[in-house]
Structure 1
Amino acid sequence: MGAGHGHRLHFHGHSPVHRAPAHLKLVALLGFMLVVVATPSDWYAAYAVEALLLLGVVALSRVPVTYLAPRMVIEVPFAVFALLMPFLAHGPRTEVLGLTVSEPGLHAGLALLVKGTIGVLASLTLASTTEPQEVLRGLQRLRMPDLIVQIMGFMIRYLDVVTAELGRMMVAMRSRGCDPRSPRQWPTLARAMGALFIRSYERGERVHLAMLSRGYDGRLPAQDAA
């Protein structure tokens, strides 16, 4: 997929986790998450073992907790939903800290919170110890269809391009007195997002035509793993 392309989630290091082959890390992550998801909601001892195992891998990777913690904010919507489940679910009621909550909802909410936290932390550990191009090569070694790997590669490559273009659009809007955070400006923001989508789609068309003009036949040239 071309030259190496760093990513803001990657933490440069030389730990054993960094040096491990990407395809093995992908298989390990998939297997680990299947076990976590399959864990019954009231098996708290199993959750503790899984969490300790994951924390051991994080410690082995030498990725600072201060680096991972801010990036776990992506879990906030799931955490809010998990905290609401004991109050919204039906079934037998129980009292926790002076509040009457649904017992099945309490177990389900705790399970969702724990599984979500473990999943996000495990994914961030993989992302912080593996370059995006290594992940793509790992997927190729695992025999994932080339077309899907190519799509993922272009997504990684152009994500920063689209993000930078969005940033310029936000600056232009603010320079014209438009605050994108204001609900009154949401219609304007929606039109801007539509324009960004059209630009991204047209960019994809141009890239595809450029590839075809250079002999693209559904496969990209092999690249040096160095």
Structure 2
Amino acid sequence: MGHRHVHRLYVPGASPVHRLPPQCKLVALLAFVLVVVATPRERIWAFAVYAVLLAVVAAMARVSYGVVLRRTLIEVPFVAFALLMPFVATGDKVTVLGGLELSRHGLWGAWNILAKGTLGVMASVLLAATTEPRMLLLGIERLRMPQLITQIAGFMLRYGDVVVGELRRMKLARAARGFEARDLRHAGVLARSLGALFLRSYERGERVHLAMVSRGYDGRMPVLYEVSATAAQWGMASALPLSAGLVALAAWMTP
């Protein structure tokens, strides 16, 4: 019962990046992504420098590059459209691979989406690997996010795994009774299972709320951790977006 829940995306550590207050890392991430998005897509070298900056952050955080690259694969389904752009976009054509004609504008568009999207995902992966979800929510609160929203997000994080576990047990119970969904004829059984899952989740939520009220819950969660940031910590967190900003400035000034 005393074991503290650790999210699967978090990589435990005591690095300088881990110790930074969450609000500092959130602002740094947002600023870095904005700088990357504002960079001209034709300056390919600038995106390579951004990748090097993220590699330096990963090394400081002692998060292996393999972990970052594996988790970055989550973007693959979302960038499929980018791979189609050279084939469907209009404009000037370029010939590659022995006669295959691709749109020049589509190639640049695909590169723009892939490069900026990948860098943004990698930065987010590093944030998740070095900051626990509960600390992220505290950091968002420190940035003046309404506490009601952070409470809802906190309950989603805490009980999302509980609901998934309940769904897994229901699937196992169906399999133990010989059920296996093969076609649309079994849609009714799956729909009833989802209905039962909704009712169980709703009832669990009622029990959790009653338990909280009985312990003095009045609409605000108690503050268990202090996440104030010093000027030095803000300065350290700003190193990444400031460095990226200098790269972007050079990219805009380069003819």
Question: Shorter-chain TM-score: which interval?
Answer: 0.7 to 0.9
Deviation of the 1:201 alpha carbon: 3.7
Using the TM superposition, name which of 85-94 and 27-36 deviates more: 85-94
Aligned Cα RMSD in Å? 2.5
Structure 2 residues without counterparts, runs of 5 or longer: 228-255
2:8 counterpart residue number: 8
Pairwise mapping of residues 127-146 of structure 1 onto structure 2 (< 5 A)?
127-146=128-147
Are 1:45 and 2:52 counterparts? no
Residue matched to 2:97: 97
Asked if the contact 1:61–1:129 (Cα under 8 Å) also holds between the matched residues in 2, the reply is yes
Cross-structure match for 2:221 = 220
Question: Does the CA-based 8 Å contact 1:173-1:179 persist in structure 2?
Answer: yes
Which of 1 and 2 has higher RCO (CA within 8 Å, sep 6+)? 2
Q: How many residue pairs were aligned?
A: 223
Separation (CA, whole Å) in 2 of partners of 1:72 and 1:200 = 31
Summarize the Cα distance change of 1:89–1:200 in structure 2 as closer, same or farther, 3 Å threshold.
farther
Alpha-carbon distance in 1 for matches of 2:40, 2:179: 49
Classify the secondary structure of the residue corresponding to 2:95.
Answer: strand
Q: TM-score, normalised by structure 2?
A: 0.77
Partner residue in 1 for 2:252 = none
| Higher gyration radius (CA) | 2
Report deviation, 1:214: 4.2
Separation in structure 1 between the aligned mates of residue 191 and residue 73 of structure 2, nearest angstrom: 24
- The aligned residue for residue 117 of structure 1 is 118
The range that moved more, 125-134 or 62-71, is 62-71
User: Could you tell me which residue of structure 2 aligns to residue 161 of structure 1?
Assistant: 162
Paired residues for 1:78-89 under 5 Å = 78-89=78-89
Provide structure 1 residue ranges, at least 5 long, that are not aligned to the other structure: none
> The residue matched to 1:106 in structure 2 has which SS?
helix
Instruction: Provide closer, same or farther for how the CA distance between residues 200 and 127 of structure 1 changes in structure 2, counting only shifts above 3 A.
Output: same
1:21–1:138 CA contact under 8 A, matched in 2: yes
How many Å separate the matches in 1 of 2:90 and 2:107?
10
Structure 1 vs Structure 2: percent identity of aligned residues? 56
Q: Aligned ranges for residues 40-79 of structure 1 at < 5 Å?
A: 40-79=40-79
Deviations 1:95-137 (A, max 9, x none): 2333211111111111111112111111110011111121112
Which has the larger displacement, 150-159 or 210-219? Answer: 210-219
TM-aligned CA distance change 1:195 to 1:68, over 3 Å: farther
Q: TM-score, normalised by structure 1?
A: 0.86
Q: Aligned AA for 1:17?
A: V
- In the alignment, the residues of structure 1 paired with residue 30 and residue 157 of structure 2 have an alpha-carbon distance, to the nearest angstrom, of 21
Q: Distance in 2 between matches of 1:183 and 1:72?
A: 33
Mapped to 2, the partners of 1:174 and 1:106 lie a distance apart of 48
